[in-house]
A and B are shown apart, each in its own frame.
Chain A
Amino acid sequence: DTEVTQTPKHLVMGMTNKKSLKCEQHMGHRAMYWYKQKAKKPPELMFVYSYEKLSINESVPSRFSPECPNSSLLNLHLHALQPEDSALYLCASSPVGGLGNTIYFGEGSWLTVV
């Protein structure tokens, strides 16, 4: 069982809606990640937070807005999405830095944009 918890598991939103995906971990990890996965494709990195600061943004459109309120929480705010943004959004966490740390994933949030 994963120790990274994501809510909601499923979300349907209209293109004019504003919604948020939430992620929580209690493993004391100081790096947290958002990945996006389309059907039959590998996960693609979106954002990395290190010590609650955004360290990597993989040129993600501004309609996706990440937030890391504290070391245990990671949010992904969604606004004015397009149907092609429908995907599985995966949150993950890991210890910071080091010589290759295991990244632990949540079960994901299925997003459908209508």
Chain B
Amino acid sequence: SQQGEEDPQALSIQEGENATMNCSYKTSINNLQWYRQNSGRGLVHLILIRSNEREKHSGRLRVTLDTSKKSSSLLITASRAADTASYFCAPGTSYGKLTFGQGTILTVHP
């Protein structure tokens, strides 16, 4: 498996603004997953995008995948204070072994 690299490492925004986080990876994948982790808690699965998909939506979340650039982005629209968390991408293979990047720490100020 391989590790994603998130960018930026930290992001601070006001409530109502959009937040964009990016993930880059090195080798071919068949899917990429995004997870959220509130401080000291477990990871919550947000969305999985397969390598043959370019964009996926789930509520206020929009994920894109560009396999030619080996990159993905997570957009959170109309952010809320409750969105404050660490966000991790995890490029995946068929072997079920996820490796997480360092994550992006998102802070949404009320």
Residues of A within 8 A of B (CB): 2, 4, 31, 41-43, 45, 48, 50, 56, 88, 90, 92, 94, 96-108, 110
Residues on A with C-beta less than 8 A from B35 are 105
**B42 A56 Cβ-Cβ under 8 A:** no
Which chain B residues lie closer than 8 Å to A97 at the CB level? 94-96
Contacts of B43 in A (CB 8 A): 43, 90, 92, 105
Nearest residue, chain A, Cβ from B100: A42
Chain A neighbourhood of B102, CB < 8 A: 41-42
Number of interface residues of B (CB under 8 A): 26
CB pair B100 A96 closer than 8 Å: no
Within 8 A of A (CB), among B87-104: 88, 92-103
Give the distance to chain A from B105, nearest Cβ to Cβ, in Å: 9
The reply to whether B42 and A100 form a contact with Cβ atoms under 8 Å apart is: no
A100 touches B94 (CB 8 A): yes
> How far does the alpha carbon of A97 sit from the alpha carbon of B92 in the complex, in Å?
11
Contact mask for chain B residues 26-48; partner A; CB cutoff 8 A; 1 contact, 0 none: 00001101010000111111001
B62 within 8 A of partner (CB): no
| Shortest Cβ gap from B21 to chain A (Å) | 14
